[in-house]
């Protein structure tokens, strides 16, 4: 069946979709004057269900996730295939409000073209639409409503199709409830409640609109590359620097007169604010890196914001009060427990051993843990060290076993010809005993997952002094694991005693938690800071590039 024939067949939907109309009616709007003509009985008797299916097939989604067609079919079946947007012989005014909302989809980083906006406008602009065209309008409007509701609630894209290491996706069905509300007005009014309720999302959305409007009305003010600019410098490049910082919000409007060409202390302070929120050295001088960051276009920054709005839509709409929030791009863990919050530095996976983005439930912790070396680390890290130094295992407290099976025999490492072993053929299991040199330190916090990722202590404390902290093989190293351990057992005398006994004995102990604690490993490259300004972070794992490739279009109209 050809697409044109599908569209023609779908146009026959006039019948039962307009069965509630029995007399001529004229309605005016900004789009044109409607004259609604009642259908005949023979039209009403036509197979409406088949026609709705054809219309859904004709208006397939444009890029991204597949439209949840079944929900649209169910919505019409629920109403006995009566029209949704035509009531009492007239188009419901909520349809015009829906069009206005779809026009503002770009404020969420979503593209209005995905919601058939221009098609809807073309139908609404018809002076005397036929009953067939009205039927088509009704179904297309419902398709647009359902698609936008879904994307606003769950995100438009499947994260795992963009990035195999991204496994944090919490789809919900709240958007489907919208299709079964009593009236079009109720449906349209319900739409805004579907976007993420986190304050960070709202701030990002406001800034996206700011960048969109500024790019459209003003265009970019760029700073000409050249020698670093410092306090005391003068000239046109200083004026450009000042104007750019005003444009980006780092310099607020003031009635105080300034010499725009002179680099004074207030300009230095504004530049330091810019540097800090772009993770640059905050030296107050506009060197090559700072100028490069200043000259990233407003359009590109808007895209970055849009990518992160989509990431928020992949998260649950409501976050638990008690949770552990590992912010990978900020190298921080934020622990929310029993009304308290504590933050600490973390070390995350190297770029070639990326820490997965996912969600799990922490159920127990292990004190003074032994470390069973993952096969990949054993082959890529441990074997080369053994080939250089056959005594490496003994010197660093490792045991070696014949295999990974239960009851495998412990071997004497000096009897193994390590230089004859190829990495891909090695099958030995290695375990590091619990001591001060153990790679896991004194604590391991477990939220069982298929990635074998957990939070743990580390003997390499010096790495926490670094700004860039992507050094692990995927797991999360904590700066203050003892503080997390105390928070997990606080108020529970039995578990507090178990923890203290384990600390005193230096023996391996497993302490179960009274209640599971949700653990989120999240990745954002744009976040609001405490002052409400945007913080642009390094894209450590090049995940923004994957977002840009997947989205494949400008997420807003300029």
Instruction: Give the pLDDT confidence score for residue 31 in this predicted structure.
Output: 56
- Helix 69-78 vs helix 131-154: angle between axes, to the nearest 10 degrees? 120
- Helix 131-154 vs helix 117-124: angle between axes, to the nearest 10 degrees? 150
Instruction: Give the pLDDT confidence score for residue 82 in this predicted structure.
Output: 85
Q: Stretch 215-230: mean pLDDT, rounded? A: 96
Instruction: Give the pLDDT confidence score for residue 14 in this predicted structure.
Output: 36
Catalytic one of 21, 150, 456, 462: 456
Instruction: Give the pLDDT confidence score for residue 132 in this predicted structure.
Output: 77
**Residue 65: pLDDT over 80:** no
Residue 328: band (very low, low, confident or very high) from pLDDT cuts 50, 70, 90: very high
**Residue 541: pLDDT over 80:** yes
- d(C-alpha 525, C-alpha 406), whole Å: 43
Instruction: Give the pLDDT confidence score for residue 49 in this predicted structure.
Output: 57
Residue 29: band (very low, low, confident or very high) from pLDDT cuts 50, 70, 90: low
Instruction: Give the pLDDT confidence score for residue 293 in this predicted structure.
Output: 97
Residue 18: band (very low, low, confident or very high) from pLDDT cuts 50, 70, 90: very low
Q: Which CATH superfamily is domain 321-370+440-523 in?
A: L,D-transpeptidase catalytic domain-like (2.40.440.10)
Instruction: Give the pLDDT confidence score for residue 50 in this predicted structure.
Output: 58
Domains 201-301+528-551 and 321-370+440-523 equal at CATH topology level: no
Instruction: Give the pLDDT confidence score for residue 258 in this predicted structure.
Output: 85
Residue 104: band (very low, low, confident or very high) from pLDDT cuts 50, 70, 90: very high
Element (H, E) at 136: helix 131-154
Q: What tens digit of pLDDT does each residue of 68-102 get?
A: 677 888 899 898 888 899 877 678 999 999 999 99
Instruction: Give the pLDDT confidence score for residue 254 in this predicted structure.
Output: 65
Catalytic one of 108, 116, 278, 475: 475
**Residue ranges covered by each domain of the chain:** 3-195, 201-301+528-551, 321-370+440-523, 372-433
Q: What is the mean pLDDT of the chain?
A: 87
Is the CATH code 1.10.101.10 the one for domain 201-301+528-551? Answer: yes
Token pair of 133 as six digits: 């065209």
Task: Verify whether residue 278 is a known catalytic residue.
Answer: no
Q: Stretch 519-530: mean pLDDT, rounded? A: 97
Q: What is the pTM of this model?
A: 0.86
Q: Residue 486: name the closest of 505, 502, 464 by CA.
A: 502
**Residue 30: pLDDT over 60:** no
Instruction: Give the pLDDT confidence score for residue 61 in this predicted structure.
Output: 52
CA 83 to chain centre: 36
- d(C-alpha 166, C-alpha 6), whole Å: 38
Q: Stretch 49-55: mean pLDDT, rounded? A: 62
Instruction: Give the pLDDT confidence score for residue 40 in this predicted structure.
Output: 39
**Residue 26: pLDDT over 70:** no
Instruction: Give the pLDDT confidence score for residue 129 in this predicted structure.
Output: 81
Q: What tens digit of pLDDT does each residue of 166-216 get?
A: 998 888 888 999 999 999 999 999 999 999 999 999 999 999 999 999 999
**Residue 47: pLDDT over 80:** no
**Residue 13: pLDDT over 50:** no
- d(C-alpha 558, C-alpha 134), whole Å: 31
Task: Verify whether residue 116 is a known catalytic residue.
Answer: no
Q: What percent of the chain has pLDDT over 70?
A: 86
Residue 130: band (very low, low, confident or very high) from pLDDT cuts 50, 70, 90: confident
At which residue do the structure tokens 């934020």 appear? 334
Residue 391: band (very low, low, confident or very high) from pLDDT cuts 50, 70, 90: very high
Cα dist. 64→110, 153, 308, 430 in Å? 11, 14, 16, 45
**Residue 425: pLDDT over 70:** yes
First to last CA, the chain: 38
**Residue 489: pLDDT over 80:** yes
Q: Are strands 398-401 and 429-432 parallel, antiparallel or unpaired?
A: antiparallel
Q: What tens digit of pLDDT does each residue of 332-389 get?
A: 999 999 999 999 999 999 999 999 999 999 999 999 999 999 898 999 999 999 999 9
Instruction: Give the pLDDT confidence score for residue 172 in this predicted structure.
Output: 86
């Amino acid at each position: 069946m050809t697409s044109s024939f599908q569209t023609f067949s779908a146009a026959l939907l006039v019948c039962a979709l307009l069965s509630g109309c029995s007399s001529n009616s004229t309605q005016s709007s900004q789009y044109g004057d409607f004259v609604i003509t009642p259908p005949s009985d023979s039209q009403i008797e036509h197979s409406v269900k088949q026609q709705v299916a054809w219309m859904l097939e004709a208006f397939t989604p444009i890029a991204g996730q597949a439209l949840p067609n079944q929900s649209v079919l169910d919505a019409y079946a629920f109403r006995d295939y009566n029209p949704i947007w035509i009531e009492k012989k007239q188009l419901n005014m909520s349809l015009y409000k829906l069009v206005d909302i779809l026009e503002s989809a770009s404020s969420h980083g979503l593209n209005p073209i995905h919601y058939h906006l221009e098609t809807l406008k073309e139908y609404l602009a018809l002076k005397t639409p036929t009953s067939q065209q009205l039927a088509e309008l009704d179904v297309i409007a419902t398709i647009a409503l359902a698609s936008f509701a879904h994307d606003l609630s769950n995100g438009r894209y499947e994260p795992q199709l963009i990035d195999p290491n991204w496994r944090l996706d919490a789809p919900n069905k709240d958007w489907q409830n919208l299709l079964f509300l009593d009236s079009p007005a109720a449906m349209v009014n319900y739409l805004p409640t579907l976007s993420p309720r986190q304050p960070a999302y709202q701030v990002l959305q406001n800034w996206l609109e700011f960048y969109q409007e500024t790019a459209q009305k003003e265009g970019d003010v760029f700073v000409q590359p050249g020698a670093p600019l410092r306090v005391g410098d003068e000239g046109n490049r200083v004026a450009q620097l000042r104007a750019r910082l005003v444009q980006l919000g780092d310099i607020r409007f003031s009635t105080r007169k300034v010499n725009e060409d002179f680099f004074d202390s207030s300009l230095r302070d504004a530049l330091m604010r810019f540097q800090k929120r772009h993770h640059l050295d905050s030296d107050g001088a506009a060197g090559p890196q700072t100028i490069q960051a200043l000259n990233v276009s407003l359009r590109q920054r808007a895209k970055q914001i849009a990518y992160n709005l989509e990431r928020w839509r992949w998260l649950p709409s409501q976050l638990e009060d008690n949770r552990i929030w590992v912010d990978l791009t900020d190298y921080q863990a934020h622990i929310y427990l029993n009304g308290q919050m504590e933050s600490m530095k973390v070390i995350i996976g190297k770029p070639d051993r990326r820490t997965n983005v996912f969600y799990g439930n922490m159920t127990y912790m292990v004190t003074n843990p032994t470390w069973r070396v993952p096969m990949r680390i054993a082959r890529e890290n441990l074997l080369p060290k053994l080939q250089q130094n056959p005594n490496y295992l003994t010197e660093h407290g490792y045991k070696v076993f014949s295999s990974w099976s239960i009851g495998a025999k412990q071997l004497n490492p000096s009897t193994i010809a390590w230089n004859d072993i190829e990495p891909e053929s090695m099958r030995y299991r290695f375990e590091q005993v619990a001591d001060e040199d153990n790679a896991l330190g004194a604590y391991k916090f477990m939220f069982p997952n298929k990635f074998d990722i957990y939070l743990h202590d580390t003997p390499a404390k010096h790495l926490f002094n670094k700004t860039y902290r992507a050094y692990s093989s995927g797991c999360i190293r904590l700066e203050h694991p003892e503080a997390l351990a105390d928070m997990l057992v606080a108020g529970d005398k039995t578990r507090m005693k178990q923890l203290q006994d384990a600390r005193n004995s230096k023996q391996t102990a497993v302490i179960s938690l009274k209640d599971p604690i949700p653990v989120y490993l999240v990745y954002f490259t744009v976040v609001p800071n405490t002052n409400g300004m945007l913080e642009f972070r390094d894209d450590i794992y090049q995940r923004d590039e994957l977002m840009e490739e997947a989205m494949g279009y400008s997420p807003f109209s300029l």
